[in-house]
Amino acid sequence: MTEAHVVIILTELILLISILWLCKKNLREKNTQIKETPEKDYADYLQSKHWEGLRKKALERADYKCELCKGSYAAVHHIRYPKKYQGDHLDNLLVVCEKCHAKLHGIRDETAFQNSESQHTAKKIPLKASEKLFSEEVVKGSGCAYFFDVEYSPAGEKQLVITEDRPSKQNTFGDYRISVTEANLNTFARQIRTTFEMMTTQNELYSEKLLTSDRTYFFDVKIAVNGRKYVAIAESKRIAPGSFERSSITVFENVMHPFASGLENAFKFLNISSF
């Protein structure tokens, strides 16, 4: 066998291997596409910046009211579902209340539909001292959620309560919350914005605290054991002479935008523009 024959055989083998590799790659991609479901596409899309921007514009267009009956809004509804949501746009969205949303989906019992909402549900509630003035939920995955509630404090002052519902070490869910009175919201908003900017633009850790008349807030950028960056926001308040109570919430970098969107809506309700 001559050297030329060897070269030809090797070339043919390389071509055959390349063809087999391409066939295997195409088969793998097809299997992946088959496994993907509309529900997964929708869940992924609701985590995107594009959706956050469209949702915000739709709410501003509707002045946070149902565009069908002018009632308190509960959801932003898709008129049609574009393929993988690549062609989604503002004219495809409709801000609706719970009742109108249920009618659009052909559901007679609104509570059943409300339990199935996957990403954002928000409602404004009549202003009564015994009830929440504003409430918004942001689901962040794995069943965890953030809640942004505006309510009256025991002293009769409006306050923002941020609650994180996350699994504890015993793998059960528990509430972790901090509260900010209306008088301190502007400085709180500026500091949390600075902390988020430090997490996204700086590589080193960051720590700052905010002192108010009756409590102290701590803002820290930390790194988890798996290398993911997150913000820890802690509140320490005096409950008795010489006795303090501390609570905290955490916001990982990958859920910062949904968290910020929910926080911004609460600030808008309170006419806070610092965030």
> 29-60 as b/e, with b when 16 or more CB fall inside 10 Å?
eeeeeeeeeeeeebeebbbeeebbebbeebbe
pLDDT of residue 240: 72
Q: What is the mean pLDDT of residues 134-154?
A: 80
Query: pLDDT by residue (tens digit) across 198-255?
Result: 998 888 889 999 998 889 999 999 998 888 899 999 999 887 777 788 889 999 988 8
Specify the pTM: 0.52
Find all residues with CB under 8 Å of 13, minimum gap 6, and list them.
none
Q: Where is pLDDT greater, at 275 or 266?
A: 266
Q: Residue 76 pLDDT more than 50?
A: yes
Query: pLDDT by residue (tens digit) across 96-135?
Result: 887 777 777 654 433 433 443 434 444 433 344 435 788 8
Q: What is the mean pLDDT of residues 44-69?
A: 81
Q: Hey, where are the domains in the chain?
A: 55-117, 122-275
Q: Is the dihedral of CA 264, 266, 272, 274 positive or negative?
A: negative
To 5 degrees, how large is the angle CA 166–CA 223–CA 214?
A: 65
Q: What is the mean pLDDT of residues 165-192?
A: 77
pLDDT of residue 60: 86
| CATH (residue range 122-275) | 3.30.2450.30
**Got the DSSP string for 145-201?**
EEEEEEEE-TTS-EEEEEEEEEE-TTS-EEEEEEEEEGGGHHHHHHHHHHHHHHHHH
Query: pLDDT by residue (tens digit) across 28-51?
Result: 665 554 344 444 566 667 667 787
Q: Where is pLDDT greater, at 250 or 5?
A: 250
Local structure of residue 32 (DSSP, 8 states) = H
pLDDT of residue 130: 39
pLDDT of residue 92: 81
- Residue 16's pLDDT band (boundaries 50, 70, 90)? confident
Q: Where is pLDDT greater, at 122 or 190?
A: 190
CATH: 3.40.50, 1.10.3470, 1.10.10, 3.40.1800. Which one for 55-117? 3.40.1800
- Residue 197's pLDDT band (boundaries 50, 70, 90)? very high
